[in-house]
Structures are given as C-alpha cells and as structure tokens.
Amino acid sequence: MIALDDVLVTAYSPDPAGGADRVVRLLGPVTLELVEHRVAIVGANGSGKSTLARLLNGLVLPSSGTVRVDGLDTARDGAAVRRKVGFMFTDPDAQLVMPTPVEDVALSLRRLPLTPAERDVAARAALARFGLADRAEVPVHALSGGQRQLLALASVLATEPAILVCDEPTTLLDLRWRGVVDALLADLEQQVVVVTHDLDAALQADRVLVVDDGSVVFDGDPAQAVAHYRALMQVGA
C-alpha cells in the first residue's frame, strides 16, 4: 500500500527582483492511501501530477511529511522503495540507457540471480511479450517512438516491481500504439498508478485523483473525477 501522510513538496525559486531565493509550494499538503489496482492522476499542465507520481518511488522526496510504500519510507529506504516501485517516464529516452533493446532489458535484470546466458534468454522473452522479439538487436535510436515506449515498459517490468507508476506513458504515441500500451497496462497484475491526459484511459481506472495548483482537489469515482476536471478546465463533455 502507498501512504502519503501530510506530504508537502517545496522548492527554491529564484527571485526575479534579484533577492534571496523564495520557497515555493509545488504540492500539498496531501494525505492519502492508494490501495486500488488502477489509480489515475489527471490535471492541468504544471498542476503537480509528476511531482505526485515521483513521490511514490522516491524520485521526489517530501519537504515535510512521509511517503511509505508497504511500510518503507521513501526518504530512508529509497533503494528498497525503488526496487518495489517501477517508474515509467513520459519520454522513454529518459530511461533507456543501453544501445540495444536486449541489452537494456538485460541491464534491468541485473539484480536477479541469473547467469549471463540466462539473463539473455529472459531479456529476449520480455521483449517477445511486448512484440519486440525481432527488434532485440536493432539500435534503440532506430526504434519507433511506440517501440521505444514498449521497450521502456518491458525494461521496467523486467525488474518485477510490485507497483508500477507511469507518467503519461502514451502521450507520445499514435492511436494504435496508445491502444497497445493501454491494453498492456490494463492487463498487468501489479498495482498501476498512471498520470494521464487521456480521459478515456482515466475513466477505466478504479480511482482518479484530480490535481490542481499543487492540491488534490477531487479524489474518487472516475466519472465524477473527469467531470470535475472538465469543469475545472471549463470544457464540455
């Protein structure tokens, strides 16, 4: 279970007038527990969604308050939390570090007690699961955006996270690849927390958080959450 207790995230921001840096609030205070299988986070650009998502695996630490994942404190047990919580970035290039897909997935498998040959077999099996079997040795930069997104998903899932946090995983994708990634995410056994601008995807979640100006302004039923968000954005259904 993910539990945020009175979490506040602040940052220092330069004073345009040239004075001392000012402390600005990015998010919070937020207190909530996430136990649902599928949780979506929606909100305007710059509202604090990524900050909230990044808190969940310790990429962002609270300035005050605590974030716990199955009892592990992200501020004190960061490495253990990151083994538990996989994170998929909007831009797969932020995450893919090896020259070829098979090497990238193999890198994700490094903590498992496997021989190099076993790791290679496991990496290829992971690529096959995502339709990338014949792309294993193609340079990562030569893959399409959709294929890179799938590779990022394959790599993060290879670490066998208990929870997967995805920050706008389909924003860069065309309709076909969006459908592929949405279907793969929907089928996962893991708890998935997804930041999305895709309101149809949000409607499929069990619970939706609406973030606005650094606060969670609605939390609950997906249809009501989407209606709340539309009203906030002053756009019709």
Ligand X SMILES: Nc1ncnc2c1ncn2[C@@H]1O[C@H](COP(=O)(O)OP(=O)(O)OP(=O)(O)O)[C@@H](O)[C@H]1O
Give the tokens for residue 170.
Answer: 């389909």
Nearer to ligand X, 24 or 231 (CB): 24
**Among residues 193, 117, 196, 184, which one has the least CA distance to residue 151?**
184
**Given 7, 30, 34, 49, the residue binding ligand X (CB under 6 A):** 49
Q: Note whether 16 binds ligand X by CB under 6 A.
A: no
Is 213:47 a contact under the CB 8 Å cutoff? yes
The whole-angstrom distance between residue 157's C-alpha and the CA centroid of its chain comes to: 12
Nearer to ligand X, 13 or 144 (CB): 13
Q: Minimum CB separation from ligand X for residue 65, in Å?
A: 16
Nearer to ligand X, 104 or 212 (CB): 212
3-state secondary structure of 82: helix
Q: What track of x and - describes contact with ligand X for positions 82 through 111 (by CB under 6 A)?
A: ------------------------------
Q: Note whether 11 binds ligand X by CB under 6 A.
A: yes
Cα–Cα distance measured from residue 45 to residue 205, given in angstroms and rounded to the nearest whole number: 20
The HSE-up count of residue 39 (CA atoms within 13 Å, CB side) is 25
**Given 30, 47, 173, 182, the residue binding ligand X (CB under 6 A):** 47
Q: Minimum CB separation from ligand X for residue 39, in Å?
A: 15
Nearer to ligand X, 24 or 186 (CB): 24
Stretch that binds ligand X, among 45-53, 102-110, 147-155, 173-181 (CB under 6 A): 45-53
Stretch that binds ligand X, among 43-51, 78-86, 94-102, 130-138 (CB under 6 A): 43-51
- What sign does the CA torsion over 35, 37, 43, 49 have? positive
**Among residues 172, 107, 99, 103, which one has the least CA distance to residue 141?**
99
**Among residues 162, 195, 169, which one has the least CA distance to residue 183?**
169
CA angle 31, 153, 168 (to 5 degrees): 50
Q: Note whether 14 binds ligand X by CB under 6 A.
A: no
**Given 45, 79, 134, 189, the residue binding ligand X (CB under 6 A):** 45
> What radius of gyration, in Å, describes the C-alpha atoms of the chain?
19
Nearer to ligand X, 4 or 106 (CB): 4
Q: Minimum CB separation from ligand X for residue 52, in Å?
A: 7
Cα–Cα distance measured from residue 183 to residue 137, given in angstroms and rounded to the nearest whole number: 25
Size of the site for ligand X (CB under 6 A): 11
Interacting residue ranges for ligand X, rule: CB under 6 A: 11, 13, 26, 43, 45-51
